[in-house]
Structure 1
């Protein structure tokens, strides 16, 4: 993340043909005697058997198809996806293979339109989607993944894969910021409002002694986004317009300032170390912190950020990063049927369940949360709750140049005490210049 971070139609057509045959047979037998009815039934049976035999023969004669998917993710996660998808597609003679590529973006720039040497699909975070689309290498997946597939997915994850009003990404799992706390150090219940959280922080922070109630990267845009989004502000909108100087953004930054004053001034490593060394009772972070927290022997509690209500009545709304599969144009043109089957298989709840139970990934498919083990996973369920308010990181190319001016604005306000209105105007202009330079 920003840590510098659908062949349903074939089935329907087949089912429709069978239903049509049955209806015709029934209509014909209504005007004849019992013997004719028997003959009609036999005809239907014979037709069914012939159809099934034809389908079996067609399937048996189908050419095996291999779908190559590039990624730069955890290979164990990719292998789990591959195992599940290949098992689901075994009788369709479709084989999926995942290949890890360092510098995936650069590799796709070189080979995205190369059917011989490039991949058919790729697995990556959604926020790079716009860059790949503008490169002209991706195909929309709307005609390969219909409502019967997309309808089971969390709306936030579906939204992450939309660019220019078309669906380009099949979401598989997601992650987002959470409120992580040390049960040994936290006194009483975790508050349900940001104002009560601030009161707790005021009473339980001793900066001089180096101990804190809550730590957060208070001048990192990704970590302040929960406030900005919930206030109705934005770093950049879907049309590529920066929003550093809109009133809602400024209000959020001003509100966050009082929390920042009670937090350690530090980067990712600083705040993570404070929490893992038990010098902070809580940290705003994501699932990527869990391994270190376990190693530190912390009795971890987890709360969704959306469970913290702002004075405006809205829950905090962090950014989310969605991992999923996109389709290269040449594959959509030459392997459309196989690609559609892969998209359906990778979106299945079984894939989400396996990823959740083995890697603590929050599934995109809502049916995966019906699994007893998934439903008992506190962190995964907290992320599912957060999906109600979380916003996908903008997937437009212009977002890549927004982190710097946004964080300079936060630093100016939180660290240098500059007036938010003055600073916002300055860094809005910097953002506009950076975006113009991209053209």
Structure 2
């Protein structure tokens, strides 16, 4: 009997110490350990210089509160959050990432709405589009930080006259200034990449997938947009990412549709470039081109919303301040989510940022539902079939619509 009691005592003691070793942060937080409560770990996969700017900004602003913010870069962030998003010890307190993965993280139960921590008034100055990007099933899960959109980037030394204001005028210019035999183009675009064709699809009132997770590849308006884009595709080289970028940087194309991620390469090529918002181009139906937008935002893990609420609240409030957006714009040329950041003349006068700010009034955030992840394949297969293989749209749209529906059904 004594031997059994001794064994039980040893086992209980071992379990107690094992539990302590695994849950040091959790226990410390629950017992009021101030250092643990005020240390906020944020996982990200962003640019190191930009993230360092954010970390320095937040720690300086929150130093009087004793809050220490630590950004930790993670490769394969989506998979890392799948593994550790609900792990209070090994996972993050917050994460910063593109908004289109939001639905997946919410459905796996890792996130708390940011309204569990802050009042809605904290993010009242954010651009509506950026808030929509971080909203899932009528709950706000992301504090938007900055966003990106596709742009019309042109070589001022090659483009003749004013840049047109309608897509039909643009098409006429392309016909008159494109010669595939000599490898010179007026405009190049990734014409069979769904993200790059979305401005036409959205502008025609079509959709790749809607909020109810219904694919729209055979929707009448989507098909009208794809057919309309086809005539542009014939004048835009092969549509491959590397091809179109090389053509523009080598001075073989006068313009390109692309995002801010191209600008560093354009500068290195010493191109005298200009930028125009895609919403400055009007379609034949009277609507403008309507690109997708990607929004970088900060989300809160459920455990942090409970055990570190006070510190998380202060971090989110500081992220929402316009000054952070100004700093990111001035140093990394990010387009701030906070509308008040644009009151700063340096921000408002930046040609690229101003173009994205203008586009934000009409741009659509990429769908953040989990089903969007399986839509790129069928959508781009359809575009390639039409633009590259020359197949009749009416004969293949239903085929790829069914592929999309099957892929979504297989997610269940």
TM-score by length of 1: 0.85
Q: Distance in 1 between matches of 2:153 and 2:111?
A: 37
Aligned to 2:281: 308
Residue in structure 2 matching 1:213, options 160, 179, 186: 186
Offset of 1:181 from its aligned partner?
0.1
Aligned to 1:136: 109
Aligned to 1:12: none
Aligned to 2:239: 266
Is the 2:233–2:239 Cα contact (8 Å) retained in structure 1?
Answer: no
Aligned to 1:172: 145
| Unaligned 5+ runs, structure 1 | 1-60
Report SS of the residue matched to 1:272: helix
Q: Distance in 1 between matches of 2:394 and 2:128?
A: 35
Offset of 1:143 from its aligned partner?
3.5
Is the 1:62–1:93 Cα contact (8 Å) retained in structure 2?
Answer: no
Aligned pairs for 1:14-33 within 5 A: none
Is the 1:84–1:350 Cα contact (8 Å) retained in structure 2?
Answer: no
Q: Distance in 2 between matches of 1:413 and 1:389?
A: 27
Offset of 1:418 from its aligned partner?
1.7
Aligned to 2:343: 370
Is the 2:116–2:305 Cα contact (8 Å) retained in structure 1?
Answer: no
Aligned to 2:384: 411
Q: Distance in 2 between matches of 1:255 and 1:146?
A: 45
Q: Given the alignment of the two structures, is residue 198 of structure 1 paired with residue 171 of structure 2, yes or no?
A: yes
Aligned to 1:160: 133
1:127-167 deviations in whole A, cap 9, x for unaligned? 11111111111111123232322211010000000111101
Is the 1:225–1:319 Cα contact (8 Å) retained in structure 2?
Answer: yes
1:325-368 deviations in whole A, cap 9, x for unaligned? 00000000111121111111011111101110111100000111
Offset of 1:110 from its aligned partner?
1.5
Is the 1:352–1:368 Cα contact (8 Å) retained in structure 2?
Answer: yes
Q: Given the alignment of the two structures, is residue 93 of structure 1 paired with residue 66 of structure 2, yes or no?
A: yes
Report SS of the residue matched to 1:142: helix
Q: Distance in 2 between matches of 1:417 and 1:140?
A: 47
Aligned to 2:29: none
1:361-419 deviations in whole A, cap 9, x for unaligned? 00000111111111110000000001011111111111111001101111111122222
TM-score by length of 2: 0.90
Aligned to 1:256: 229
Q: Given the alignment of the two structures, is residue 113 of structure 1 paired with residue 112 of structure 2, yes or no?
A: no
1:308-336 deviations in whole A, cap 9, x for unaligned? 01111111111111001000000001111
Aligned to 1:422: 395
Residue in structure 2 matching 1:63, options 23, 34, 59: 34
Aligned to 1:151: 124
Q: Distance in 1 between matches of 2:279 and 2:314?
A: 35
Is the 1:242–1:432 Cα contact (8 Å) retained in structure 2?
Answer: yes
Q: Given the alignment of the two structures, is residue 347 of structure 1 paired with residue 323 of structure 2, yes or no?
A: no
Report SS of the residue matched to 1:265: coil
Aligned to 2:294: 321
CA RMSD after TM alignment: 1.2
Offset of 1:62 from its aligned partner?
9.7
Aligned to 2:370: 397
Q: In terms of Rg, which structure is larger?
A: 1
Is the 1:305–1:317 Cα contact (8 Å) retained in structure 2?
Answer: yes
Residue in structure 1 matching 2:259, options 275, 286, 295: 286
Q: Distance in 1 between matches of 2:389 and 2:49?
A: 44
Q: Distance in 2 between matches of 1:96 and 1:136?
A: 24
Return 158-167 or 408-417, whichever deviates more: 408-417
